[in-house]
Structure 1
Amino acid sequence: MLKGFKDFIMRGNVIDLAVAVVIGAAFTAVVNSIVDRIFNPLIGALFQADSLDNALIVSVGDAELQFGAVIGAIISFLIIAAVVYFVFVLPINTMKERAEAKRKAGIVEEKAPVTEIDVLTEIRDLLARSNLKE
């Protein structure tokens, strides 16, 4: 039973998931900081509004429907999605595309590690040269 538990814990996907959760928590703190300290004050200044939580409240009997809070949550979600896309996803995708274009063009960076493909290509070229000499 303990061996099965150890095997489960030591699986790569469990460790990857744990790392992803930790990185996700740190990433959430960064995104929330950007949204709370940069974008929310800008929106507050543009629309001269402190909070939507206290706006558009409709009373139905004893219940209060807080439409302003829902609208605020939707706006916050859209801002967070925009920050994640434009600050993180777009630059990373652009860097990946540039690296892929360099790779396809045959441009190798000096500090790039030697891969198996590089070694096999060099062996192929040496064999081709030695066959031409014979």
Structure 2
Amino acid sequence: MSFLEIKKIYTEERQKQKNELIDWLRNEGYVILTMEGDEASKPHSTGSGKSMYTADSGIKAYDLSNWKWITARQGNKELLLSLQAFDIDPKTKDRHVLMDRIGIYFYKSGKYNPEECVKEMINTGIDLPMNSEKYVLLKEIIDNK
């Protein structure tokens, strides 16, 4: 199997995990949002990077579609659930992206801030793929915030 074939399968599996998380959040009473903060008419189609990302024409096109997240609201609580957690090493201050680790950023309704998201994201310690025990832990983390 080639690298590109493996990469395609990996991307499909991440999307399946994201869809399962969306369905779980909806069952928990959350509304899935677009990045503009509106209710998503097609929740499974939200929260993926651009396939032709160019940093506003600053870089050669890059496929960022495997960058996945979910924005959701329940009452006045809004959150971004990321399928890759941000991490800042407390000693070196180096910044990392922990692929396939669930991260959560809570924010006030309509006040998503990308800089705060990096600094304040909760590293849940939960790695994909999800299972029933991990959903219980994720619910605990969300409910206790």
Q: Which has the higher helix share?
A: 1
TM (normalized to structure 1)? 0.31
Bigger Cα Rg: 1
Q: Which has the higher strand share?
A: 2
TM (normalized to structure 2)? 0.29
**Higher relative contact order, structure no. (Cα contacts within 8 Å, ≥ 6 residues apart):** 2
